[in-house]
Amino acid sequence: MDRNPALTPEVIAGARAALEGDRACAIARNAVTSAGIASAARNPQAAALATTTFDIQLEQGDITDQKRSGRCWMFASLNTMRFRIMRKLGLKTFELSQAYPLFWDKYERSNWFFENVIATAGKPLADREVAYLLTDPLCDGGQWDMFRSLVKKYGVVPKEAMPETFHSSNTGDLNQHLTRYLRAGAKRLRDAVAAGADAGELARIKSGLMDDVYRYLVICLGEPPASFEVLIRDDANELKASGTYTPQAFFAEFVDMDLDDYISVINAPTSDKPYLRSYTVKFLGNVVEDGGVRYVNLPIESLKRMAVAQLSDGLPVWFGSDVGQSFLRADGVLDPAALDIDGLFGMDIEAGLDKAARLDYGESLMTHAMTLQGVNLDGDGNPTRWRIENSWGCDRGKKGYDIASDAWFSEYVYQVVVDKKYLTAEELAAYESAPVELAPWDPMGALAR
């Protein structure tokens, strides 16, 4: 018999009949239609298991808030750096400017975009890579390697030296109008290439475009300081630091971090990314002269081992994850058992795909960067729960912190940034090998989109 693809009255009648007398379905329907899926599926036992005291627990200071912006990667990076300043100067809290790297990232990323437009100018607009470049050339997202490039070139400044503006905290309109300008610039450059422009003419056009980008960013974000005065006092009003600094000098003296020692380790258990290999993502970057990103792909237990080692040495860990999965936002709990979706519906919804399949089929990818600030260990030294510093303000979760089970770490953490000294010789050699280039739309580049 030929297969009928249509949803016939007989098919619908069968679906109705299958639910007749299904008491569990009726109860679930009443709960979901009244309160919604998340409330009906919430597991209070999982929420209750989220401890707020950890075997290893770093104290960070006031929780930061990225507000209506996609700067999580910047906030997580700056939170690892301000921790060093607080420890060095004996401060209970301190904050570095998040508007400062935002300015330079938008500026550098515009230049990165124009260079890629020139490099692909011979391809048609319908080419998938060209279409990808034009889709979202100026998003807020980014990667650790991109932040490292910004800091190496521009340093960091205290928040007082370049405070938040309306559009650093609300980047939607900033991005919308500047993106339109960048696309118009892309057309000018592609038209010039098609008309036979030489390298000098293309450089002249791009220079004018970049001058306008700088003007636009100054109007929206203020002009980044070339130097600034520093006066830092502790809670006892004791002067801890003073003087005039450039952003680079401030970073060198107070953060005192060898940026090149910190590298990205990912866990992508898909068949196209063998472990113990290094990878990069095409078109992913910002500072042209510093190149793109590099990861080494390792089993998830290696990421846990490195994270525990760095926390044990008293330093926080930047990490990237799919934060929207199995998340009780109000409770600040991340746990695969937190929401019993499959039990509520009586279907294999969450159980239908493992971690590799979720990546392959577009169900999961890196969406948010945060900072590990603590971990609980069992009797054998294995992690059981993780303490997470978020950047969504102090009025959510556990006073701005979230608690993740180790099972959630296994399923939804994709990247950690650690000192390369925690890698074995074999792992480090893999990182330093020539990277395999992934497609621009690969899920391992998603945090920067």
User: Cβ contacts of residue 407 below 8 Å, gap of 6+?
Assistant: 335, 336, 337
Residues 33-58 have pLDDT tens digits of 999 999 999 999 888 877 778 999 99
pLDDT of residue 146: 98
- Looking at the fold, whether 295 and 411 belong to one and the same domain comes out as yes
Residues 182-234 have pLDDT tens digits of 999 999 999 999 999 999 999 999 999 999 999 999 999 999 999 999 999 99
Q: Is the pLDDT of residue 60 over 90?
A: no
Domain-terminating residue out of 230, 257, 284:
257
- Looking at the fold, whether 160 and 272 belong to one and the same domain comes out as no
Residues 231-250 have pLDDT tens digits of 999 989 999 999 999 999 99
Q: Is the pLDDT of residue 24 over 90?
A: yes
User: Cβ contacts of residue 365 below 8 Å, gap of 6+?
Assistant: 322, 359, 414, 443, 446
What tokens were used for 88? 């060095």
What tokens were used for 332? 């600040």
Sign of the Cα torsion 430, 433, 439, 441 reads positive
CA max distance for the chain: 87
- Looking at the fold, whether 54 and 71 belong to one and the same domain comes out as no
Domain-terminating residue out of 201, 236, 257:
257
- Looking at the fold, whether 336 and 354 belong to one and the same domain comes out as yes
User: Cβ contacts of residue 445 below 8 Å, gap of 6+?
Assistant: 143, 281, 284, 293, 438
Best CA proximity match to 115, nearest among 199, 211, 171? 199
- Looking at the fold, whether 248 and 390 belong to one and the same domain comes out as no
- Looking at the fold, whether 85 and 61 belong to one and the same domain comes out as no
pLDDT of residue 3: 87
Taking the alpha carbons at both ends of the chain, their separation in whole angstroms is: 48
The one-letter amino acid at 256 = D
Residue ranges making up the domain that contains 251: 66-257
What tokens were used for 272? 């196209």
pLDDT of residue 1: 64
Q: With respect to residue 120, please indicate whether it lies within any of the assigned structural domains.
A: yes
Exposure class string for 142-163: b at 16+ Cβ within 10 A, else e: bbbbbbbbbbeebbbbbbebbe
What tokens were used for 117? 């437009």
- Looking at the fold, whether 60 and 71 belong to one and the same domain comes out as no
Choice between 107 and 3, residue whose per-residue pLDDT is larger: 107
- Looking at the fold, whether 107 and 184 belong to one and the same domain comes out as yes
- Looking at the fold, whether 286 and 225 belong to one and the same domain comes out as no
Which residues are marked as active site? Answer: 72, 368, 390
What distances in angstroms separate CA 396 from CA 71, 199, 333, one per listed residue? 18, 52, 11
pLDDT of residue 449: 84
d(CA 98, CA 120): 32
Q: Are 104 and 98 in contact (CB under 8 A)?
A: no
Q: Are 406 and 424 in contact (CB under 8 A)?
A: no
What distances in angstroms separate CA 150 from CA 20, 47, 181, 185, 370, one per listed residue? 62, 39, 23, 23, 19
d(CA 176, CA 185): 14
Q: With respect to residue 278, please indicate whether it lies within any of the assigned structural domains.
A: yes
Give residue 138's pLDDT band: very low, low, confident or very high (50, 70, 90). very high
Q: Transcribe 149-202 into DSSP letters.
A: HHHHHH---BGGGS---HHHHB-HHHHHHHHHHHHHHHHHHHHHHHTT--HHHH
Give residue 335's pLDDT band: very low, low, confident or very high (50, 70, 90). very high
- Looking at the fold, whether 380 and 243 belong to one and the same domain comes out as no
User: Cβ contacts of residue 345 below 8 Å, gap of 6+?
Assistant: 28
Domain-terminating residue out of 257, 287, 318:
257
Give residue 86's pLDDT band: very low, low, confident or very high (50, 70, 90). very high
Please state the domain count of the chain: 2
CATH of the domain at 129: 3.90.70.10
Report the chain's mean pLDDT, rounded to a whole number: 96
- Looking at the fold, whether 240 and 271 belong to one and the same domain comes out as no
Q: With respect to residue 30, please indicate whether it lies within any of the assigned structural domains.
A: no
Residues 295-315 have pLDDT tens digits of 999 999 999 999 999 999 999
Chain position carrying tokens 């890579």: 129
